[in-house]
Amino acid sequence: MTKISNHVKEDINKTAYPKCCLSVVVPCYNEENYLERCLDHLMQIKDESLELQVIIVDDASQDNSLEIANKVASRSNEITVLKHDKNLGKGAALQTGFTHATGDFIAIQDADLEYDPCDLKRMLIPLRNNKADVVFGSRFLSGGVHRVLYFWHYMANKLLTLLSNMFTDLNLTDMETCYKVFRREIVQRIELNEKRFGIEPELVAKVAQLRPRIYEMGISYHGRTYEEGKKIGLKDAFRALYCILRYNAHKAPIPIQFIFYLFIGGIAAVSNLLLFFAFINTNISVNFAAPAAFLVAAIVNYILCVLVLFRHKAQWKTIPEIGMYFLVVIIVAWFDLAVTKVLISFSWSYLSAKSVATMSALTFNFIGRRYFVFKESVVNDW
């Protein structure tokens, strides 16, 4: 890690910017070998037009990280040290730091020196030029130095980024990047839930839903090995996948939602078919078997929609929502019965008739739930 080079200073200083403050949140857990150097490099980026507010959040470190943070903070009134009494995770540390930030912009800086603070100053340029509201750093766009490390980490990162992009309709190259810089009013309006490394896909999802002006810039990367203290692991990759689905599905583009709904609808459709044939085999009439099987499948469908796809926090709170749900169920149930009976009257087998009716009802179910029962307006305040 070196000081800011002359050519970087020249590029940054070509435009005279009004004075602003950058709040940098530094989550820290057992980083006694890197923390002081990280803070030294971070403080170098301030100049006559850029003030810094550095917020260190010690996440119940078991080494000397907290003592080092307090020592450095005692030398500068620009550094604040906060601490958790128990280890909660990076996401929790960021949430604590975000609530205490008062600068014009907020950035994230890991304490492990994998990222170069010089890049933060470059990332501020589109924000200070009022061209961007959020800037993400990308380890895969830069021509700068990159330490060569784990191939499968790289592949997992690319796959998670691809899935995230499919749901957010963004074209990021590095969703899991630590370096994210926001206008303060954006990040402080987001309600965050993830306590560990799932905070990265959650942040991307919830920022994307606000539809601000998002830019991406190449950054350098000095990755660590596990022997050197790297903490993220396989279970965090699976958590990231879960977070992509949980926080994006209800706002994803319609084609992606429909594909996802097919899995939910498929489970409900199988329930519908099995119950229908169970009723038929006990000599119950089609007039009862079809709507009864459909009703049970509709309940399964609704529960899965609430938990996974449209609004995972939806509850039976309003009469219009309850009424609209049952109206959609009744209309689609009638359609399911009508198609089944018509096809049987044309000498179709029970299996063929019910299968076609079920698939048709699946499509109408999606339309009804997406546009009438669980409809959500697009938030676009930027």
The contacts of residue 209 (CB under 8 Å, 6+ apart) are 168, 251, 379
Q: What pLDDT tens digit does each residue of the chain (382 aa) get? A: 444 445 444 455 555 688 999 999 999 999 999 999 999 999 999 999 999 999 999 999 999 999 999 999 999 999 999 999 999 999 999 999 999 999 999 999 999 888 899 999 999 999 999 999 999 999 888 656 766 666 877 888 899 999 999 989 999 999 989 899 999 999 999 999 998 888 999 999 999 999 999 999 999 887 656 555 566 667 777 888 888 888 888 888 888 888 888 888 888 888 888 998 898 888 888 888 888 888 888 788 778 877 778 765 555 566 777 788 788 888 988 998 999 999 999 999 988 998 898 888 878 888 888 888 877 654 445 5
Per the DSSP assignment, residues forming a β-bridge with 28 are: 58
Domains of the chain with bracketed CATH: 15-251 (3.90.550.10), 254-373 (no CATH)
- Measured between alpha carbons, how far is 257 from 374 in angstroms, rounded to an integer? 12
pLDDT at residue number 323: 83
pLDDT at residue number 311: 66
Which single residue is written with the structure tokens 């149930």?
333
pLDDT at residue number 147: 65
Q: What is the C-alpha end-to-end distance of the chain, expressed in Å?
A: 36
Q: Per-residue pLDDT tens for 102-152?
A: 999 999 999 988 889 999 999 999 999 999 999 999 988 865 676 666 687
Per the DSSP assignment, residues forming a β-bridge with 134 are: 182, 214
* Chain-centroid distance, C-alpha 9: 34
pLDDT at residue number 1: 47
Q: Per-residue pLDDT tens for 21-34?
A: 999 999 999 999 99
DSSP assignment string, 65-83:
HHHHHHHHHTT-TTEEEEE
Q: Per-residue pLDDT tens for 85-105?
A: 999 999 999 999 999 999 999
DSSP assignment string, 201-237:
HHHHHHHHHH---EEEEE--B----TTTT----HHHH
Report the residue count for the chain. 382
Q: Per-residue pLDDT tens for 296-319?
A: 887 887 788 777 787 655 555 667
pLDDT at residue number 229: 54
- Measured between alpha carbons, how far is 211 from 379 in angstroms, rounded to an integer? 7
